[in-house]
């Protein structure tokens, strides 16, 4: 195929992002900067090596092979001058130095997916494109989704919703299921917490209803529409007001009556990744809504007429 793209991780045996057992392909690069993001290694499209200090035994093997003269403590002097050559990753006996994003050929990604195809067929699973933001590499996504669709795989997409819809329409139309985020109904608060306004995202959510599976080029083409799940990552202190949840659900029900919604509570598990790539972790203001609050918010969304989904 010859098309290359930036991949954070290819994670087999995932069960939370679509039906059955799935392989998640995390594609790097994202136009948003959500302050609660748990995958900061996916902000940029570039190769990236990180350092998990808590795994490190201080043996010095990484520093001994580094062509840039970077010391064991990458956070002290290393992230800017690192060229992601990977020499330290190979030398490290504890996997404390780790590749966090790599440039990969589409053929190699497809080969990796094929390795687990038996699990997909037995479980009704497949492949989910995630990120970062998969649509931020439209050519790579087009190549991968076309190859997998034509091979008969079930393919899903998780997206922040901020993309040029017509540019990625062919990829979107190959999906069985699209998860799209809706983070806040207030454009200024959306900008404050994610770096961009919500206008394009709201427009793209409404456009999802125009998608149809392609009829040509595949035995599985059938003219039906991808299923849609609009996801709200519920961030305590940001978007968990009853008014915002009700307004979000009302909007979704109005523009996409067939769509389901999923509300997922914020978690702070990304902290260790911020440490690994030397970025400050600035999420102290946020909290994880407890089960009772999530239950109440889901019932508020359901009261607007949407069906609540649960893939977690
Ligand atoms: S990836 Fe290469 S340049 Fe970066 S710290 Fe490791 S050995 Fe040095
Ligand atoms: S090679 Fe790995 S374990 Fe040894 S000092 Fe470097 S990061 Fe730590």
Q: What is the pLDDT of residue 145?
A: 98
The verdict on the CB of residue 85 being under 6 Å from ligand 1 is yes
User: Domain 53-95 is of which CATH architecture?
Assistant: 2-Layer Sandwich (3.30)
Residues of the chain with CATH 3.30.70: 53-95
> How far is residue 73's CA from residue 240's CA, in Å, rounded to a whole number?
39
Q: What is the pLDDT of residue 268?
A: 85
Residues 6 or more apart whose CB falls under 8 angstroms from that of 22 comprise: 14, 15, 120, 125, 126, 127, 128, 156
Among candidate residues 98, 109, 82, the one with its CA nearest the CA of residue 1: 109
Tell me if the bond preceding 178 is cis, omega within 30° of 0.
Answer: no
CATH class of 4-45+101-308: alpha beta
Q: What is the pLDDT of residue 77?
A: 76
Residues of the chain with pLDDT under 70: 1, 216-223
Q: What is the pLDDT of residue 117?
A: 87
> How far is residue 36's CA from residue 24's CA, in Å, rounded to a whole number?
21
Cα(57) to ligand 2 centroid in Å equals 6
Q: What is the pLDDT of residue 61?
A: 98
Residue nearest to atom 1 of ligand 2 (CA): 92
Q: What is the pLDDT of residue 15?
A: 87
Residues of the chain with CATH 3.20.20.70: 4-45+101-308
Taking each helix axis from N to C end, the angle separating 165-172 and 199-207, rounded to the nearest 10 degrees, works out to 40
Cα(130) to ligand 2 centroid in Å equals 30
Q: What is the pLDDT of residue 222?
A: 58
Where does the chain have alpha helices with state H?
A: 61-65, 74-77, 87-91, 106-114, 117-123, 138-150, 165-172, 187-194, 199-207, 242-255, 271-276, 291-302
The verdict on the CB of residue 96 being under 6 Å from ligand 2 is yes
Cα(184) to ligand 2 centroid in Å equals 42
């Amino acid at each position: 195929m010859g098309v290359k793209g930036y991949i954070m991780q290819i994670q087999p045996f995932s069960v939370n992002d679509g039906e059955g057992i799935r392989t998640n392909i995390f594609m790097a690069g994202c136009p948003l900067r959500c302050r609660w993001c748990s995958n900061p290694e996916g902000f940029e499209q570039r190769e990236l090596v990180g350092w998990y200090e808590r795994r490190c035994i201080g043996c010095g093997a990484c520093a001994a092979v580094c062509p840039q003269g970077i010391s064991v403590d990458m956070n002290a002097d290393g992230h800017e001058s690192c060229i992601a050559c990977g020499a330290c990753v190979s030398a490290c006996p504890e996997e404390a130095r780790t590749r966090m994003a790599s440039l990969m050929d589409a053929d190699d990604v497809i080969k990796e997916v094929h390795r687990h195809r038996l699990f997909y067929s037995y479980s009704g699973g497949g492949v989910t494109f995630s990120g970062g933001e998969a649509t931020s590499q439209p050519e790579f996504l087009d190549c991968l989704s076309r190859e997998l669709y034509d091979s008969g795989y079930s393919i899903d997409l998780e997206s922040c919703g901020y993309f040029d819809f017509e540019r990625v329409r062919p990829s979107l139309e190959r999906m069985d299921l699209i998860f799209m985020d809706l983070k806040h109904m207030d454009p200024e608060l959306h900008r404050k917490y994610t770096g961009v306004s919500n206008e394009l995202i709201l427009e793209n959510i409404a456009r999802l209803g125009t998608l149809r599976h392609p009829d040509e080029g595949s035995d599985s083409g059938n003219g039906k529409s991808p299923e849609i799940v609009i996801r709200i990552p519920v961030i305590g202190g940001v978007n968990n007001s009853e008014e915002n949840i009700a307004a979000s659900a009302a909007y979704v029900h109005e523009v996409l009556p067939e769509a389901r919604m999923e509300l997922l509570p914020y978690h702070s598990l990304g902290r260790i990744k911020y440490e690994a790539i030397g970025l400050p972790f600035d999420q102290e203001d946020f909290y994880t809504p407890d089960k009772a609050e999530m239950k109440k918010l889901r019932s508020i969304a359901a009261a607007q007429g949407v069906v609540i989904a649960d893939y977690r």
